[in-house]
Amino acid sequence: MTSSDRTVWDAIVIGGGHNGLICATLLAKGRRNVLLLEANAEMGGAARTEEFFPGFRDSTAHVLNRLHPEVVKALDLEELGLDLLRGASGSTFAPSVVLSKDGAPLTLHGAYGETLTGASAAEQAAWKDLRVQLLRYAGVLKPFLSRRPPEFGSRSPGGLAALGQAALAMKRLGREDMRDFLRVLLMNVHDLLDEQLSDDRLKGLLAFDAVLGSHLGPRSPTSLLGLYYRLAGEIGGAPGAQVVPKGGMGAVIATIRAAAEHAGVALCTGASVAKIVVESGRAVGLALASGEEIHADTIVSAVNPTTTLLTLVGAPLLDTGLVRKVKNIRMKGDVAKLNLALDGVPDFPGVAAQDLHGRLVIAPSPDHVERAFNPAKYGEFSPEPVMEITLPSLTDPSLAPQDGCILSANVQYAPYALKEGWETGKPKFLAAIMAQLEAHAPGIGRLARHAELLTPADIEVRYLMPGGHWHHGELQADQMLFSRPVSGWSGYDTPIERLYLAGAGSHPGGGISGLPGLNAARRILAARAER
Partner 1 sequence: MKTWDVIVIGGGHNGLVNACYLQRAGLDVLVVEKNDWVGGAASSRELTPGFLYSNCSYVCSLFRPEIMRDLELPRFGLQVIAYEGGAVLTQDGDYLGNYRDHDAHRREFARFSKRDAEAYDRYARDVTRQCRFIQPLLMRTAPDPTSLKPRDLGELLYLGKKFAGLTAEEMALTLRFWTISISDFLDEYFETDVIKANFSISGIIGTALGPMSPGTAYVLLHHYMGEVDGSVGAWGYARGGMGAVTRALAASFQASGGTIRTGAEVEKVCVKSGKAKGVVFAGGEEIYGKLIVSNADVKRTFLKLVEEKELPDIFLRRVKNFKIRGSSGKVNIALDSMPEFPALPKDSPCLRGDLHFTDTVERMERAYDDWKAGRWSVDPFLDMMIPTTIDPTMAAPGKHFMSCFVQYAPPKVEGRDWTDADRDAFAETVISQIADYSPGFRDRIVHMEVRTPRELEAEVGLTEGNIFQGELTFDQLLFNRPVPGFAQYRSPVNGLYICGSSTHPGGGVMGAPGRNAAKEILRDLARSDHHMSPAHDVI
Partner 2 sequence: MNISTLKPSPTQVWQIAQSHFRTLRADTPFQPRIDAAAKTNEWYNWSGYRAPHSLWDEELEYFAIRSQAALFDISPMTKYRIEGPEAEAFCNRLTLRDVTRLKPGRVHYTAWCDDQGFVLDDGTLFRLSPDRFRLCCQGRHLPWLLDSAIGFTVRIGEETEQVAGLALQGPTSFAVLRDAGFAGIERLKPFDLADFAHESGAVTISRTGFTGDLGYELFVERELALPLWDRLMVAGQLHGIRPIGYAALDRARIEAGLIVANADFTAAQQAVRADRQRLPYEIGLGFMVDADKGHFNGRRAILDARAGKKLRYVLVGLEIEGNIPAEHAIVYHKKNREVGLVSAAIWAPTAKKSVAIASLRRPFGDLILDDLWVEIYAMRELRYERVMKRARIVPRPFIRLERRSATPPADF
Binding site for partner 1 (CB under 8 A): 151-154, 175-176, 178-180, 182-187, 191, 195, 216, 219-222, 324, 328, 330, 367, 370-371, 374, 377-378, 476-478, 482-483, 487-488
Q: Which residues contact 228 (CB under 8 A, 6 or more apart)?
A: 134, 137, 138, 141
**Which of partner 2, partner 1, none does 380 bind, CB closer than 5 to 8 A by kind?**
none
Question: Which of positions 238-297 make contact with partner 2 (CB under 8 A)?
Answer: 280-281
Question: Which of positions 105-144 make contact with partner 2 (CB under 8 A)?
Answer: none
User: Element (H or E) spanning 42, and its range?
Assistant: none
219 or 528, CB closer to partner 1? 219
Amino acid identity for residue 286 in this structure: L
Q: How far apart are CA 197 and CA 107, in angstroms?
A: 15
CB of 20 to partner 1, least distance (A): 27
CB neighbours of residue 464 within 10 Å: 18
52 or 489, CB closer to partner 1? 489
Of 79, 194, 319, 478, the one binding partner 2 (CB under 8 A) is 319
Torsion over CA: 41, 396, 455, 253 (sign): positive
CB of 495 to partner 2, least distance (A): 6
What is the three-class DSSP state of 380? coil
185 or 238, CB closer to partner 1? 185
User: Element (H or E) spanning 482, and its range?
Assistant: none
Amino acid identity for residue 394 in this structure: L
Of 101, 155, 183, 327, the one binding partner 2 (CB under 8 A) is 327
Of 164, 270, 321, 442, the one binding partner 2 (CB under 8 A) is 321
Question: Which of positions 147-206 make contact with partner 2 (CB under 8 A)?
Answer: none
73 or 183, CB closer to partner 1? 183
Closest by Cα among 184, 223, 182, 186 to 206? 223
**Which of partner 1, partner 2, none does 495 bind, CB closer than 5 to 8 A by kind?**
partner 2
Does 316 bind partner 2 (CB under 8 A)? Our answer is yes
Q: How far apart are CA 463 and CA 16, in angstroms?
A: 11
Q: Which residues contact 496 (CB under 8 A, 6 or more apart)?
A: 276, 278, 281, 282, 283, 313, 317, 318
Q: How far apart are CA 330 and CA 209, in angstroms?
A: 20
**Which of partner 2, partner 1, none does 424 bind, CB closer than 5 to 8 A by kind?**
none
52 or 137, CB closer to partner 1? 137
Of 238, 323, 434, 527, the one binding partner 2 (CB under 8 A) is 323
Question: How long is the chain?
Answer: 531
93 or 229, CB closer to partner 1? 229
**Which of partner 1, partner 2, none does 477 bind, CB closer than 5 to 8 A by kind?**
partner 1
Q: How far apart are CA 191 and CA 207, in angstroms?
A: 10
Does 320 bind partner 2 (CB under 8 A)? Our answer is yes
Helical residues (DSSP H) of 234-289, grouped into ranges: 248-263
410 or 476, CB closer to partner 1? 476
Question: Exposed, middle or buried, 485 (CB in 10 Å: 0-12/13-18/19+)?
Answer: buried
3-state SS of the chain: helix, strand, coil percent to 5? 40, 20, 40
Which DSSP symbol is given to 118? S
What is the three-class DSSP state of 388? strand
Question: Is beta strand 499-501 parallel, antiparallel or unpaired with respect to 448-454?
Answer: unpaired
**Which of partner 2, partner 1, none does 307 bind, CB closer than 5 to 8 A by kind?**
none
264 or 488, CB closer to partner 1? 488
8 or 310, CB closer to partner 2? 310
Of 110, 236, 379, 495, the one binding partner 2 (CB under 8 A) is 495
Question: Is beta strand 359-362 parallel, antiparallel or unpaired with respect to 96-98?
Answer: parallel
Of 317, 432, 434, 525, the one binding partner 2 (CB under 8 A) is 317
8 or 323, CB closer to partner 2? 323
Spatial contact of 236 and 84, defined as CB atoms under 8 Å apart = yes
**Which of partner 2, partner 1, none does 315 bind, CB closer than 5 to 8 A by kind?**
partner 2
CB of 6 to partner 2, least distance (A): 20
Footprint on this chain of partner 2 (rule: CB under 8 A): 280-281, 310, 314-324, 327, 488, 495
